[in-house]
Amino acid sequence: MINKISLIFLVVILLLLLVIDNTEYFINNNIKWKGYRLGDIVKYYDSPDNYINSIKNKYPGSIGDLYLKLNPTQKTNLKLLYRLIDDKSKHIKKENLPNDTDFILHLRIGDSIKDYNNGKFVYNYRILNNTSYATKIENIKKNIKHMKNKNVILVYGNHQPDNIESTKINKLYLKNVKQILRNNNIIFTELNSKNPDTDFLYMCNSKYFGQSGGGYSKLIADYVKHKGNRVINFIL
């Protein structure tokens, strides 16, 4: 028979496992979105037909799917993308969008953070301009002034949900980011719908947007500026 102490110990262990599992699940996008890269879909629309067809087959009804179906030119069409964003945003409840005092900070995680060595993170870089895809820890510290007196919303999603090592490094990175904000008395919350389209639309409606690296974040930043709102580039 299990005694009272053993039962309490068992309950504590189960609760800890539940917390750990939920933490990793929150970081990761839903597995069905693995390989969905909206920035690449828009920028590289002239990709081979098999790539275009795979988007249509794997992600039906997504922004990427609709963009491809409505764009016969095989050229980047931001006017079309913006129309899709506008149309979809109309159907989102106001309480599910950023308000005027929210600072939306996009953190690109996943494979953009390669490793953690000797107390420092190792990032992946774009070869063309040697900029990091991820928002470097030092750049967050450098841009703290922009987040003062704002409600900071951290938005992120690991697009490699089945990569255990990536998830581990991502969790450590996010822990560091949150500690920096706490040290500077900045109030923040976290958002990851586990759906990159949902997060994309949310960030596109930012009044203040902190841009990360890569095409996905740049699309958001360009749209935010297009709407007359403010973008802070956390990569520079």
When pLDDT is cut at 50, 70 and 90, the band that residue 11 belongs to is very low
pLDDT at 125: 84
> Any idea which of 75-84, 117-126, 153-162 has the lowest mean pLDDT?
153-162
Kindly state the tokens that stand for 208: 């203040």
Instruction: Say what percent of the chain tops pLDDT 70.
Output: 81
Q: Give the span between the Cα atoms of 87 and 207, in whole angstroms.
A: 18
SS3 102: strand
Q: Which stretch of 5-9, 173-177, 189-193 has the lowest confidence by average pLDDT?
A: 5-9
Q: Which SS3 state, helix, strand or coil, does residue 108 take?
A: coil
CATH of 95-233 given 3.40.50, 1.25.40, 1.20.58, 1.10.600: 3.40.50
Which pLDDT belongs to residue 161? 58
Q: Name the H helices within the chain.
A: 4-27, 38-43, 49-58, 63-70, 78-89, 137-142, 164-183, 196-204, 215-226
Please state, as a whole number, how many other Cβ atoms lie within 10 Å of the Cβ of residue 129: 8
pLDDT band, residue 45 (cuts 50/70/90): low
Residue 102 has what pLDDT? 97
pLDDT reading at 131 higher than 90: no
At residue 118, the pLDDT reads 86
pLDDT number for residue 88: 97
pLDDT of residue 9: 54
How does residue 36 score in pLDDT terms, banded at 50, 70 and 90? confident
What confidence tier does 14 reach under pLDDT thresholds 50, 70, 90?
very low
**More confident: 133 or 100:** 100
* Its pTM surpasses 0.95: no
Query: Contact 58/35 with Cβ under 8 angstroms?
Result: yes
Domain ranges of the chain: 34-89, 95-233
Nearest-angstrom CA–CA distance, 71 and 56: 13
What is the pLDDT confidence band of residue 132, given thresholds at 50, 70 and 90?
Answer: confident
Model confidence pLDDT, tens digit, residues 152-167: 999 987 766 556 777 8
More confident residue, 221 or 108: 221
List phi, psi (to 5°) of 40: -70, -35
Three-state DSSP at 110 gives helix
Residue 13, Cα to own-chain centre: how many angstroms? Answer: 31
CA–CA distance, 33 with 21 (Å, rounded to integer): 19
pLDDT of residue 80: 96
* Cα 202-19-200 angle, rounded to 5 deg: 10
Q: Is the pLDDT of residue 49 over 80?
A: no
